[in-house]
Homo-oligomer: A and B are copies of this chain.
Amino acid sequence: MSVAPSFRRAYSGRRVLITGGLGFIGSSLARRLVGLGARVTIVDSLIPEYGGNRRNLAGLGRRVNVHIADVRDWPRLPQLVKGQHYLFNLAGQTSHMDSMTDPQTDLDINCRAQLAILEACRVHNPGIRIVFASTRQIYGRPDYLPVDEHHPLRPVDVNGINKIAGESFHLLYARVHGIPATALRLTNTIGPGMRVKDARQTFVGIWIRSLVEGRPFEVWGGAQRRDFTYVDDAVEAFLLAASHPAAVGEVYNLGGPPPVTLQRLAELLVEINRGGRFTVREFPADRRKIDIGDFYADDRRIRRRLGWRPKVDLRTMLARTLAYYRRELKNYV
């Protein structure tokens, strides 16, 4: 991906804080920002069930300042946000199932800690430019497709409820307290560094792990259609959102190449992998209750207003991701 000169101007020499910075998207963002000459500080809890993995920063060495800390640890937040020009706020609990079995942990991370981060910014650094990682999960089962930003929010799980609150706090602090914040509603994001140990981040992770390990994988409800964003395109959206004045107080869907059925996605992965097997089965009962059915995003708002363009097609993103985990799987399981 080319380095837009405006990104150099926006980020070179600037101090950037990334929560969840050892995670999949956070670490890709850190790597890109280091390349742009930014001074990057990362906060990550490295909780084993979450997305953080030191391997994601391989090769960056001391060019990134890493704090192993939990965003629920409020007393540490003021020191972390002070003096930063940007905050990419990606720390979160992402598993829908975990949010149903341990709802309070999801609330404490996705809702309560978000308010604490914003309060730390309001008191100690109200000019900080924030981009918050929100999620398509907040829409729930779509009334219509593709889903635009006007679609009602009717979450189907505790995770969706808490992410709405987290996103709403950011937009409220922008409006009432003048803190320049933007929210991006992410769909399935794919790429090197994604969690493949299990399905806690996206179901595609466990598919890729199974393929690389030569085991069959399960496709639940194969007729469902979903859309996918390549991680570099998501990173581009974060950098655009934080540097574009029109994005303050706004919320944008991210999308990507045209949606496909899960069956087709599985076939494509097997084809790219030159081998592999999967079985299609019904959704398990406990998952069905919180399943959202077909989903794909209408991302025209960010395309029009910020000029975002996803550049990586589905085949390429899957090929790059598979290639990465053929080399790196041992560091991710």
Contact = CB atoms under 8 A, between A and B. Distances in A.
Interface in A141-185: 152-153, 155-158, 161-162, 164-165, 168-169, 172, 175-176
A115 to B, nearest CB: 6
A165 B161 contact: yes
A126 interface: no
Given A158-B172, A169-B161, A115 B119 contact: no
A112 B289 CA distance: 23
A141 to B, nearest CB: 11
Give this chain's copy count.
2
Contacts of A289: 175-176
Contacts of A176: 100, 156-157, 289-290
A270 to B, nearest CB: 34
Contacts of A164: 164-165, 168
A112 B109 CA distance: 12
A241 interface: no
Given A115-B158, A161-B168, A165-B165, 6 more contacts: A104-B115, A107-B111, A156-B172, A156-B176, A158-B169, A164-B168
25 contacts: A100-B176, A103-B119, A103-B169, A104-B112, A104-B115, A104-B116, A107-B111, A107-B112, A108-B112, A111-B165, A112-B112, A115-B158, A153-B153, A155-B168, A155-B172, A156-B176, A158-B169, A161-B165, A161-B169, A162-B165, A164-B164, A164-B165, A164-B168, A175-B289, A176-B289
